[in-house]
Amino acid sequence: MEALKEGKEEFPKVTVDEAYDSLKAMNVHGAGRIARYAAQALRDYAKEAKGKSPREYWGNVLKAGEKLRSARPTAVSLPNGVNYVLYGGRRSFESGATVEEVRNATVNAANDFITSSIDAVRIIGEIGARRVKNGDVIITHCNSEAAMSIMKKAHDLGKGIKVYCDETRPKFQGHKTAAALAAYGIDTTLICDSACRVNMAHAHKAIVGCDAISVNGALVNKIGTSQVATMAHEARVNFMVAAETYKLDFKTLNGELVDIEERDYAEIASKEWMTHNPKVKFSNPVFDVTPPEYIDFYVTEKGIVPPAGVFTLMKELYQYTEGAQAGPSTR
Residue 181 touching ligand RUB (CB under 6 A): no
* CB closer to ligand RUB, 209 vs 323: 209
The DSSP code for 289 is E
Among the options 142, 165, 196, 210, which is catalytic? 142
* CB closer to ligand RUB, 30 vs 79: 30
Q: CB nearest ligand RUB: which residue?
A: 209
* Amino acid (1-letter code) at residue 277: N
DSSP symbols for 52-97:
SSHHHHHHHHHHHHHHHHTS-SS-THHHHHHHHHHHHHHHHHHTT-
* CB closer to ligand RUB, 84 vs 93: 84
Name which of 212, 153, 177, 174 is nearest 35 in CA terms. Answer: 212
Among 20, 30, 113, 326, binds ligand RUB (CB under 6 A): 30
Residue 67 touching ligand RUB (CB under 6 A): no
Q: Which of residues 158-177 bind ligand RUB (CB under 6 A)?
A: 173
Contact call for residues 242 and 207 (beta carbons, < 8 A): yes
Name which of 309, 331, 330 is nearest 121 in CA terms. Answer: 330
Query: Any catalytic annotation for residue 196?
Result: no
Query: Any catalytic annotation for residue 142?
Result: yes
The minimum distance between CB 102 and ligand RUB, in angstroms, equals 29
Rounded distance, CA 304 to CA 245, Å? 11
Among 40, 144, 226, 238, binds ligand RUB (CB under 6 A): 144
Q: Which window, 126-134, 209-217, 228-236, 315-323, contacts ligand RUB (CB under 6 A)? A: 209-217
Name which of 205, 279, 285, 202 is nearest 238 in CA terms. Answer: 205
Q: Which of residues 101-140 bind ligand RUB (CB under 6 A)?
A: none
Residue 31 touching ligand RUB (CB under 6 A): yes
Instruction: Measure Cα distances from 186 to 33, 104, 145, 324 in Å.
Output: 23, 43, 15, 39
Rounded distance, CA 82 to CA 67, Å? 10
Q: Which window, 141-149, 157-165, 181-189, 190-198, contacts ligand RUB (CB under 6 A)? A: 141-149
Contact call for residues 146 and 121 (beta carbons, < 8 A): yes
Among 44, 136, 145, 166, binds ligand RUB (CB under 6 A): 145
- The catalytic residue positions are 142, 211
Contacts with ligand RUB by CB under 6 A lie at 29-33, 75, 142-147, 173, 209-211, 221-222, 286
